[in-house]
A and B are shown apart, each in its own frame.
Chain A
Amino acid sequence: MRNLLRVKRQGFMSRTSFAFACALFLSIPFMGSTRAGAVAVEVPRDSSGWFVDLNRFSESAHKNLTCEACHGDMSDQGQKHPDTRDTTRLKSKATRIYDYQRCRTCHRESYERYLRGAHAKALTEEKKTPVSEGFLSDRLKAPTCGECHSAHYDRSHLSRGATGQAMTDTCGACHAEQKATYLENYHGKVAVNLRDEASAYCTDCHGAHECVSLKDRKTALAACQRCHPDAGERFAQFVIHPTTEGLARDNKEKQKHVTIIKIVTLIMTIIVVLVVGFFYGHSFLWLLREIHEKLRKH
């Protein structure tokens, strides 16, 4: 009798713990989405503004520079800095007023790459279209140095991984779809989520400061071949960012490929939902019937 009881209790325990283990296992994918790839070194991403936190400035890459080294005699575009009567000036974005040609003094190579790149081209285009609010407008989107870098707070000597993690957020601030698709891609998962520095970050393909779009097949292939030396011409057709957001209208080929990828994804989703739904329903009914049969015999 005692043995019998013990067996029964064990059976009960194993079933309870088993049910618990099942519930735990099935709920794993829904557990909190704390990013495993949280930045190891906290890199402040906020760009420079009118207010300067000198505690943070004293830890930045420019900590040894004096204010005058970058800001000169504190006048910009004919306006004196401490003009307390001009309220509009302080309401505007500081990064839109600062003359970033001064960065060239020390960062010549980076500056010239920027001038050759897509962001500088966008800025030139933007300046051609007349905007009534002038440089105060939020409509101005093309970035200068200060939109991506913070001259006051960015630190130096960050690891490749830490730079890459911060870069994903910096670029993603404007290119949200590109960030999302990159993080769905193997490169992004491995580089950002799993912190493997061997994988590619944004600038590894698009180039630092040049920031080219890679719609030109030869440029794209050259970017691929930096890590995949055996890549052939059609390898560059692989779509890293399967989104039409920000895609050039004349890029019909990639539009077609993105559409096909989306259609196949939709079809697969429908198949998975139907098949899983059918068999889960089947198993559920079956379980109800067998439990009913067991209870009826008692």
Chain B
Amino acid sequence: MSEENFQESVFVRFSVLQRFLHIIVMVGFTGLAVTGFSLKFSAQWWAGGFVWLIGGAGHLAYLHRFFAVITYGCVMVHVLWLVYYKLVLKGSLTGPQSLFPKVKDIQDLLGHTRYFFGKGKLPSFNRFTYWEKFDYLAIFLGMNTMGFTGLILWAPEFFSRLIPGYFINLAQVLHLYEAILAVALKFVVHLISAHLRPEVFPIEKSIFNGKTTREKILREHPGEWEHIMTTHEQS
């Protein structure tokens, strides 16, 4: 590849698997939120109307568990990919270009906040910014804890043989409050930071078509460009 082509070429930001998992999690998470909050707010007319449309509480429970299975399926596929990436592809799961949280993320957050108040420039973000790491880690940890508490509520007869019965109550409390947290963050904070803020409005396409450009990397993730250049020069 000539130097000129390299400068202009399109880069792959997300692999086919990552794009596919994002869509499934997007559908699964929305489905979980809609069915779950239809139960939580079942006294409201809109929730009651929705449950009536899908055919009653039994179907609501079935759909919620269906979405839970496909969403948690994504977690398992993703973990298998991480293992493959680490062991077979010899990739780095904790390096500066990975999603692993670093001290730099706190510095970036402080620098970014200073930028909000007009007291400094945008920090030089690496491949994944601190809010992208938070989005990823929050949903990765969240889906595991939601999956665990959800499993307890799915089979309380079985789990109450292992743990005291009032732990089912605690599982309910954790499941509810984490759901509120997840919905409040994903449907508002993630949508704004990833898609709706003026810089990227109306949609960030790279998570759907996987493509990004040199210009975009330089603007959004300048730290990654330095990394690409050094590895390019070495090869």
Contact = CB atoms under 8 A, between A and B. Distances in A.
Interface of A: 14, 18, 28-29, 31-37, 183, 186, 189-190, 193-194, 196, 198-199, 228, 230-232, 234-239, 242, 257, 260-261, 264-265, 268-269, 271-272, 275-276, 279-280, 282-283, 285-291, 293-294
Interface in B30-86: 37, 39-49, 51-52, 56-58, 60
A183 B43 CA distance: 9
Best-surrounded residue of B47, B115, B169, B188 (most CB of chain A within 10 A):
B169
A36 B161 contact: no
B157 interface: yes
B43 A261 contact: no
Given A36-B43, A232-B161, A261-B166, 12 more contacts: A36-B45, A186-B172, A189-B40, A189-B43, A190-B42, A193-B43, A194-B48, A228-B157, A234-B165, A236-B165, A239-B169, A287-B198
A31 B115 CA distance: 38
Contacts of A190: 39, 42, 57
A194 B193 CA distance: 37
B186 to A, nearest CB: 11
A238 B157 contact: no
Interface stretch (B9-17, B100-108, B177-185, B206-214): B177-185
A290 B118 CA distance: 11
A283 B189 contact: yes
B47 A279 contact: no
B45 A272 contact: no
Interface in B74-122: 112-113, 115-118
B43 A33 contact: yes
Given A231-B157, A235-B160, A285-B116, A290 B45 contact: no
Nearest to B197: A290
Given A242-B169, A264-B173, A264-B174, A194 B44 contact: no
A19 to B, nearest CB: 10
A31 B41 CA distance: 11
A198 B61 CA distance: 13
A270 to B, nearest CB: 10
Contacts of B168: 238
A162 B103 CA distance: 60
Given A272-B177, A275-B181, A294-B198, A31 B44 contact: yes
Contacts of A235: 156-157, 160-161, 165
Q: Top 8 closest A-B pairs, CB basis? A: A36-B48, A237-B165, A268-B177, A193-B42, A257-B166, A196-B57, A285-B116, A230-B157
B132 interface: no
B158 A31 contact: no
A288 B192 CA distance: 12
A287 B196 CA distance: 9
A267 to B, nearest CB: 9
A279 B189 contact: yes
12 contacts: A31-B44, A190-B39, A232-B157, A238-B169, A261-B169, A261-B173, A264-B170, A272-B177, A282-B113, A289-B116, A293-B198, A294-B198
Contacts of B112: 286
A239 B168 CA distance: 8
Best-surrounded residue of A36, A198, A235, A269 (most CB of chain B within 10 A):
A36
Contact of B160 (A29, A194, A238, A280): A238
B173 to A, nearest CB: 5
A235 B57 CA distance: 23
Contacts of A279: 185, 189
A253 B167 CA distance: 13
Given A257-B169, A280-B188, A193 B48 contact: yes
A238 B173 contact: no
A166 to B, nearest CB: 17
A236 B49 CA distance: 33
A28 B46 contact: yes
Contacts of A242: 169
Contacts of B173: 261, 264-265, 268
Contact of B181 (A238, A261, A272): A272
A279 B183 CA distance: 13
Interface in B184-234: 184-185, 188-189, 192-193, 197-199, 202
B50 to A, nearest CB: 9
B188 A199 contact: no
Nearest to A231: B157
Nearest to A261: B169
Nearest to B37: A29
Best-surrounded residue of B116, B163, B164 (most CB of chain A within 10 A):
B116
